[in-house]
Amino acid sequence: MKFRRERHTKIVATLGPASSTPEAILQLVHAGADTFRLNFSHGSHDDHANRLRMIRKVEEVVERPIGVLMDLQGPKLRLGTFENGSARLCVGNRFRLELSAVTGKDHVAHLPHPEIFEALSVGNALLVDDGRIRLRVVERGPDFADTVVEVGGTVSDRKGVNVPDCALNLSALTPKDRRDLSYGLSLGVDWVALSFVQSSKDIEEVRAIVGDSVGIMAKIEKPAALGDIAAIVAASDAIMVARGDLGVELPPEEVPTIQKRLTRLCREAGKPIVVATQMLESMVTSPAPTRAEASDVATAVYDGVDAVMLSAESASGAYPIDAVQIMARIIRNTEKDKLQRDTMGAIAATRLAVATDAIGAAIRTVAEVLPLSACVTYTLSGASALRVAHERPNVPIVGMTPKLETARRLALVWGVHAVHGNDAESVEDMVASATEVAAAEGFEPEHRPFAIVAGMPFGTPGSTNLLRLVFPTPNQLH
């Protein structure tokens, strides 16, 4: 019997210097990692290619589809350089930002981004070095901005700049991102995470390049995205709540509310949602998380998110395997709580007037009446499994697909146990194959009934129109 997860919520683990050997990746999978993130803000193309090759070798060993998420860097807005490498900014002093290439001092700095000056208005805030320094615009022009220092400190060469109060006329894809995206597609990644999303047009720009070959995950880390969030959710294949950058540009007390709001929107729409950043941050240097971090992970699970993500904890921390193991334990323990299902069920799925959604709703009801061992969903694109998972039924979902890339993409989705297998050719073949797969994957169809969701004619994407219940013996439960 192949191994399977005893939980519904998935884990995304970032690979990095602390976790980039075949042995480490195999340990991470056994610890609980379902999808691996390749962070293209760091490392070379060769680094990422080597990591992906190792993931695929581990995938063969464990005989489980493993998802790969490439995370694009996105636009990085930075100051120029300073005389002697840094300058001290004092509260109440004036500080001028110029488009021209001036040498930075305690009263002036180079800001080589004309799109910022175009967007700024008097009264806007500028955050430097992850918000450690805050400036307020008091006068502006097409090539300068005079500001007053509201929160001071030492600023050094090429520190990042955030502009929380306005949308910038910037493409979410930089020339570097385009090169990285092309390379990632050639490697065969399953998901692309797009940074710096401000509107649904950013998603459409990437869609024009990738089509349906990979899933597009919009990272919500800019306040501007919240103004177009419904359209962004509709245009994307998944959403990531990137709480780190979001917390820089927004007051920290607003981030939990936004996380809840985004979770509800995605749950209602049936789009996978990943909660990311600093979930077990203390485990970068400590063998155990804080109680608050454990509660943070549990909160996301109670809300029914599809996946929670580890960043530095698994990429560069001292305890990458432990971090995944502990996160998996938190998830399993939380999902055992009856309150978890009650809390998760408080968000109702939005159903379309289509057969797939009607069958998904029926599966949820059937699973509440019959002790189903599994729901085997035949799917080509993954859409059928996604719509069943949308209902959050109280039964494991076996996403059975003849396309390996679909199985890998489904590894991110709540409750879906992805299986790469042959499509059915007839109803009899469908029942026989589903029974065989359910038994091989440990769902015991010989002891409890299970459901099959499929489409007829077989092999036709988007044709889900069949729900069949299979009993161990006719009309009798055991």
The string of pLDDT tens digits covering residues 399-448 is: 999 999 999 999 999 999 999 988 888 888 999 999 999 999 999 888 89
Count other Cβ atoms within 10 Å, centred on residue 473: 9
The predicted pLDDT at position 477 comes to: 45
Catalytic residue among 4, 76, 78, 468: 78
CB 167 within 8 A of CB 160: no
Q: Domain check: are 157 and 229 in the same one?
A: no
350 belongs to a structural domain: no
445 belongs to a structural domain: yes
223 belongs to a structural domain: yes
Torsion of CA 416, 418, 422, 425, to 10 degrees: 0
466 Cβ contact partners less than 8 Å away, ≥ 6 residues apart: 359, 452, 453, 454, 455, 456
Q: Domain check: are 41 and 129 in the same one?
A: no
Q: Domain check: are 313 and 382 in the same one?
A: no
Lowest model confidence (mean pLDDT) among 195-209, 238-252, 331-345: 238-252
The string of pLDDT tens digits covering residues 289-338 is: 999 999 999 999 999 999 999 999 999 999 999 999 999 999 999 999 99
Residue 454 has pLDDT above 50, yes or no: yes
Residue 222 has pLDDT above 60, yes or no: yes
Q: Domain check: are 431 and 458 in the same one?
A: yes
The predicted pLDDT at position 165 comes to: 87
Nearest to 338 by CA among 264, 387, 294, 394: 394
Nearest to 91 by CA among 169, 170, 172, 154: 154
| Range 441-467 average pLDDT | 85
CB 221 within 8 A of CB 242: yes
343 belongs to a structural domain: no
Q: Domain check: are 217 and 88 in the same one?
A: no
Q: Domain check: are 148 and 217 in the same one?
A: no
Q: Which domain holds residue 419?
A: 355-470
Catalytic residue among 35, 277, 377, 379: 277
CB 138 within 8 A of CB 148: yes
Catalytic residue among 5, 51, 140, 219: 219
- Cis amide bond preceding 17, omega within 30: no
Q: pTM to 2 decimals?
A: 0.93
| Range 111-133 average pLDDT | 95
Distances (CA, A) of 3 to 327, 387, 451: 18, 24, 21
Catalytic residue among 10, 37, 134, 159: 37
Would residue 64 show up in a list of annotated catalytic residues for this protein?
A: no
Would residue 277 show up in a list of annotated catalytic residues for this protein?
A: yes
Q: Which of 121, 138, 162 is the last residue of a domain?
A: 162
**What is the band of 2 on the pLDDT scale with cuts at 50, 70, 90?**
low
Q: Domain check: are 378 and 310 in the same one?
A: no
| Range 365-371 average pLDDT | 93
Q: Domain check: are 330 and 391 in the same one?
A: no
444 belongs to a structural domain: yes
Would residue 14 show up in a list of annotated catalytic residues for this protein?
A: no
Q: Domain check: are 394 and 455 in the same one?
A: yes
| Per-residue tokens: 208 | 């024009």
Q: Domain check: are 65 and 156 in the same one?
A: no
The total domain count for the chain is 3
Would residue 271 show up in a list of annotated catalytic residues for this protein?
A: no
- The per-residue pLDDT of the chain, averaged, comes to 94
61 belongs to a structural domain: yes
**What is the band of 153 on the pLDDT scale with cuts at 50, 70, 90?**
very high
441 Cβ contact partners less than 8 Å away, ≥ 6 residues apart: 1, 2, 4, 374, 398, 417, 419
The predicted pLDDT at position 476 comes to: 44
Q: Domain check: are 292 and 420 in the same one?
A: no
475 belongs to a structural domain: no
